[in-house]
Amino acid sequence: MHLNVILAQTMLGLSAGVFYAMLSLGLAIIFGLLNVINFAHGALYMLGAFVALIGYSYIGPWLGYDDFHLGFWWALIVAPVVVGCFGMLIERFMLRRLYQFDHIYGLLLTFGIALILQGLMSRYFNVSGTAYGGQPDSLSGIVNLGFMYFPTYRLFAIVVSIIVCVVTWFVIERTSLGAVLRAGVENPRLVEAFGINVPRLITLTFGFGVGLAALAGVLAAPIYSVSPLMGANLIITVFAVVVIGGMGSIGGAIVTGLALGLVQGLTQALYPPASETVIFFIMVIVLLIRPAGLFGKDTAS
């Protein structure tokens, strides 16, 4: 096979992998502190894309200003903030009541929230998808990467996602703010006994993780069509990524997300029929060999 084809598939794989990475990163952060597997993560990703879509195409006419469009750059900020705040309300008023019970209740609650969000959006928007028209002109067209011509916007999405992932990793693993989070993951009661407001830390962490999902949703909007089920389809793959990477590690979530995007891209080139299933195949192998995942800590032993 020609090297250029491999490089081209690498880029395509990467452009899927960054979404896996951002979503599994948010899931890992939330799981670390809350011990809740956030089944609403895909729906909140979808909501992020819809905030961008609604802001661009609908909100102006709704408010009677037909030529108002919330631009893409604003959407990159507004959607994570709006969805992050929504997430914090969910945590503060619903999830928080469930921590005293088995984790399964948190999972069920977030699953229910996902269904409600998807159902609501399906009532008002086309299930087969709506095109997002807000992609800025400066990001349209293609760039020559030497080995291939690549859509400028996709390159932009890859770069932004990787920067966001690396900065998030750095803040968590290398700063004093991150130290509070790491300590909270390990022993929240003791952290609170030192005078740190752990309940608020949990709310903010959930908001941040969910905000990451929304940011991924905005970045996805110009690439994929915006649909109420876009998150439901993606999150299945992301959960497989999380199972493969293991829930334990922030860096592991990022690396696994990117790597599996690459694997998927290369499979697409080598043996296209397997590209949809290769991640699940890897998941089975990993579960057999390392049940706690590649980066997970084996808590059973």
Partner 1 sequence: MPELLRIRDLNAWYGESHVLHGVDMAVNEGEVVTLLGRNGAGRTTTLKSILGLVDKRRGSIQLDGSEVINRPTHRIARQGLLGYCPEERGIFSRLNVDENLNLPPRLSRHGMPVEEIYAMFPNLAERRRSLGTQLSGGEQQMLAMARILRTGARLLLLDEITEGLAPVIVKTLGETIQQIKQRGLTIVLVEQNFHFAAPLADRHYIMEHGRVAEVVEAADVEAKEAHIKRLLSV
Binding residues among 253-292 for partner 1 as defined by CB under 8 A: none
By CB under 8 A, residue 198 contacts partner 1: yes
By CB under 8 A, residue 177 contacts partner 1: no
Segment contacting partner 1 by CB under 8 A, of 103-111, 120-128, 157-165, 190-198: 190-198
By CB under 8 A, residue 195 contacts partner 1: yes
Dihedral of CA atoms 181, 186, 192, 194 in degrees, nearest 10, equals -90
Segment contacting partner 1 by CB under 8 A, of 141-149, 172-180, 228-236, 257-265: 172-180
Instruction: Identify the residue among 126, 138, 187, 277 touching partner 1 (CB under 8 A).
Output: 187
Q: Measured between alpha carbons, how far is 233 from 227 in angstroms, rounded to an integer? A: 10
Closest CB 187 distance from partner 1, rounded Å: 6
Q: Measured between alpha carbons, how far is 35 from 41 in angstroms, rounded to an integer? A: 14
244: helix, strand or coil? helix
- Reading the block at residue 289, the tokens are 């060999």
Q: Which is nearer to partner 1, 191 or 279 (CB)?
A: 191
Residues 245 and 293 sit within 8 Å (Cβ to Cβ)? yes
Q: Measured between alpha carbons, how far is 157 from 136 in angstroms, rounded to an integer? A: 13
Segment contacting partner 1 by CB under 8 A, of 9-17, 67-75, 161-169, 184-192: 184-192
Closest CA to 246 of 36, 28, 19, 40: 28
Closest CA to 80 of 210, 205, 221, 172: 210
By CB under 8 A, residue 197 contacts partner 1: yes
Instruction: Identify the residue among 186, 236, 271, 291 touching partner 1 (CB under 8 A).
Output: 186
By CB under 8 A, residue 142 contacts partner 1: no
Q: Which is nearer to partner 1, 180 or 204 (CB)?
A: 180
Q: How far apart are the first and last CA of the chain?
A: 44
Closest CA to 19 of 258, 278, 289: 258
Residue whose entry in the numeric block shows the structure tokens 């803040």:
171
By CB under 8 A, residue 176 contacts partner 1: yes
By CB under 8 A, residue 179 contacts partner 1: yes
Q: How many residues bind partner 1 (CB under 8 A)?
A: 19
Residues 253 and 31 sit within 8 Å (Cβ to Cβ)? no
Q: Which is nearer to partner 1, 123 or 189 (CB)?
A: 189
Closest CB 188 distance from partner 1, rounded Å: 10
Question: Which stretches of the chain bind partner 1, using CB under 8 A?
Answer: 176, 179-180, 182-183, 185-187, 189-199
